[in-house]
Amino acid sequence: MKIVVIGTGYVGLVQGVCLAELGNEVACVDLDEAKITKLKNGESPIYEPGIEELIKKNLKQERIFFDTSLKKHLKNAEIVFIAVGTPSDGKGKADLKYVTAAAEDIGKNLNHYAIIVNKSTVPIGTGEMVKNTIKKYYKEDFDVVSNPEFLKEGAALDDFFHPDRVVIGVNGSKKAAERIAELYKVLNCPIVVTNLETAEMIKYASNSYLATQISFINSIANICEKVGADVTDVSRGMKLDKRIGERAFLNAGIGYGGSCFPKDVSAMVEIAKESKENFRILEEVEATNKEQRQKFIKKIVDNLGKIQGKRIAVWGIAFKAKTDDIREAPAITIIESLQNLGAEVLAYDPVAEENARRVMPDVIYVSRPQDACKKADALVIVTDWDEFKQVDLKAIASLMKNKYIFDGRNIYDSDEVKKTGFKYYGIGR
């Protein structure tokens, strides 16, 4: 099929490259010239394991094209994906300005039947808005489909090729839904076909539920600390219940961050309000999540004493492992709070340093984890990168002035760490 993808961010780029890998001819369009120049040279503007190899391979096979102009590629397209950002508008709602602009661009340049597929996470009713926006400029036949994205950064290629499910929402046109289903048939997964509104809701409901699990287990963790229970064992015991499940989001830590959960949870709360419904559980999920970062900072302060003049090593800046994405990353809140209290922060992240430098220029960035620890008063684990899990903690301890570990992700066995001479503080243990 001939496909256009608008937006080459974490979602659009993966979608475009993977559809090309399946044999489709794909044009990826972005307004960001710097991104397009990199991509034309076979370089990925984001860190996502495996993506650069696929970009290079499909460029060579002439199945993928990168451009800043939609017009040129729209004329042959059967399917046009909208994969632009939907950040928070600052008041909790999703800002739809990029989706609206993309829809206008399509409307102004379309000259034949095409299926417009919305991949961005958008409030319920946006599919109809996109339809009406295009209609203002293009009066002939076209269809709008919702096909929300469920990928996890860091595992995005695997999620594309082995999805748990594909959701397709459409109002009216059965043929459009069938055509999109055909595109994904080869992935051999359940395909859920619904109306537009239901598909849009499935995405918000899924992210809201996953975020709820995180705040739930963090609340359990906070009680564990008071009553002498260990949340990592509680979580293991819970996940073995098949109704809860092995892959449940029940790892206690410093709360969720990233480009999706924070904005999608607050957008869901706002959608509920607009529907004159209270989503009290979700309001608490948000509040608990904010508190969780503050509790971690308090734990550091309570145990280290005066922070002024202390040298603190931070391992991990990305909002989770295997990505360079630092949007809403807990590391930002934690580092900035420690700096405001007078600490000197040395930070290490294997891939997020470039993004972090733009947001936090006053941090001392180092290129090896151990370099952050020299003469440090404490080591703070913020992201659960694999490379932190089996370091020689005895060697790390020997570099440090004071031997404290604050493990925000519970990556270490507390008893083992204590044997290395560290004072260990995890979450909920």
Query: Which are the catalytic amino acids?
Result: 260
Q: Count helices and strands (H / E) in the chain.
A: 17, 14
The CA-CA-CA angle for residues 60, 153, 321, to 5°, reads 115
Candidate residues 5, 9, 64, 232; the one interacting with ligand NAD per rule CB under 6 A: 9
Report residue 377 as tokens. 């008063």
Find out whether 146 and 169 touch, Cβ atoms under 8 Å: yes
Q: Which residues contact 20 (CB under 8 A, 6 or more apart)?
A: 26, 54, 58, 61, 63, 64
Q: Verify binding: residue 151, ligand NAD, rule CB under 6 A.
A: yes
Size of the site for ligand NAD (CB under 6 A): 27
Least separation in angstroms between CB 83 and ligand NAD: 5
Nearer to ligand NAD, 82 or 304 (CB): 82
What CA–CA distance (Å, rounded) separates 360 from 302? 25
Q: Which helix (H) or strand (E) holds 193?
A: strand 191-194
Please, what is the minimum distance in Å from the beta carbon of residue 389 to ligand NAD? 23
User: Which CB, 35 or 310, lies closer to ligand NAD?
Assistant: 35
**Tell me, what DSSP letter sits at residue 387?**
G
Closest CB 104 distance from ligand NAD, rounded Å: 8
Which residue minimizes CB distance to ligand NAD?
9
Tokens coding 220 = 């359990």
Q: Within 13 A of 104's CA, how many CA atoms are on the CB side?
A: 6
Q: Check binding of 101 to ligand NAD (CB under 6 A).
A: yes
Q: Does 10 bind ligand NAD (CB under 6 A)?
A: yes
Binding mask 377-396 vs ligand NAD (x if CB under 6 A, - otherwise)?
Answer: --------------------
Q: What does the per-residue mask of binding to ligand NAD show for 19-38, with x meaning CB under 6 A?
A: ----------xxxx--x---
Candidates 44, 118, 120, 212: give the one binding ligand NAD (CB under 6 A). Answer: 120
- The CB-of-106 to ligand NAD minimum distance in angstroms stands at 9
Of 159 and 230, nearer to ligand NAD (C-beta) is 159
If binding is defined by CB under 6 A, does position 86 make contact with ligand NAD?
Answer: yes
Which of 28, 300 has the CB closer to ligand NAD? Answer: 28
Helix-helix angle 97-109:126-137, to 10 degrees = 40
Q: Please report whether residue 149 would count as binding ligand NAD according to CB under 6 A.
A: yes
Q: What is the C-alpha to C-alpha distance for residues 408 and 425, in angstroms, rounded to an integer? A: 8
Q: Does 105 bind ligand NAD (CB under 6 A)?
A: yes
In the complex, least distance from residue 256 CB atom to ligand NAD, rounded to whole angstroms: 12
191 scored as a contact of ligand NAD (CB under 6 A): no
Report the candidate in 18, 109, 32 with the shortest Cα–Cα distance to residue 64: 18
Closest by alpha carbon to 268, among 85, 121, 118, 102?
121
320 binds ligand NAD (CB under 6 A): no
Please, what is the minimum distance in Å from the beta carbon of residue 160 to ligand NAD?
A: 11
Instruction: Kindly tell me which of 8 and 288 has the beta carbon lying closer to ligand NAD.
Output: 8
Q: What SS3 state is found at 153?
A: coil
User: For the chain, what's the residue count?
Assistant: 429
Distances 413 to 8, 25, 239 between C-alpha atoms, Å: 40, 49, 19
- Identify which of residues 206 and 414 has a Cβ nearer to ligand NAD in the complex: 206
Q: How far apart are CA 338 and CA 311, in angstroms?
A: 10
Quick check: 394 and 419 in contact, CB under 8 A?
no
Question: Closest separation between CB of residue 6 and ligand NAD, Å?
Answer: 5
Measured from the CB atom, the residue of 85 and 127 that comes closer to ligand NAD is: 85
102 scored as a contact of ligand NAD (CB under 6 A) = yes
Least Å from the CB of residue 58 to ligand NAD: 18
The answer to whether the CB of 203 falls within 8 A of the CB of 121 is: yes
Tokens 């996470």 belong to: 121
Least distance (Å) from ligand NAD to the CB of residue 324? Answer: 11
83 binds ligand NAD per the rule CB under 6 A: yes
Nearer to ligand NAD, 19 or 102 (CB): 102
- 134 is a contact residue toward ligand NAD (CB under 6 A): no
Q: Is 245 left (phi over 0), alpha (psi -120 to 50) or beta?
A: left
* Distance in angstroms (rounded) separating the CA atoms of residues 244 and 353: 36
Does 11 sit near ligand NAD (CB under 6 A)? yes
Which one of 259, 288, 289, 383 is in contact with ligand NAD (CB under 6 A)? 259
Verify binding: residue 110, ligand NAD, rule CB under 6 A. Answer: no
Distances (CA, A) of 230 to 135, 297, 398, 414: 57, 20, 28, 10
Q: Which parts of this chain interact with ligand NAD (CB under 6 A)?
A: 6-12, 29-32, 35, 83-86, 98, 101-102, 105, 120-121, 149, 151, 153, 259-260
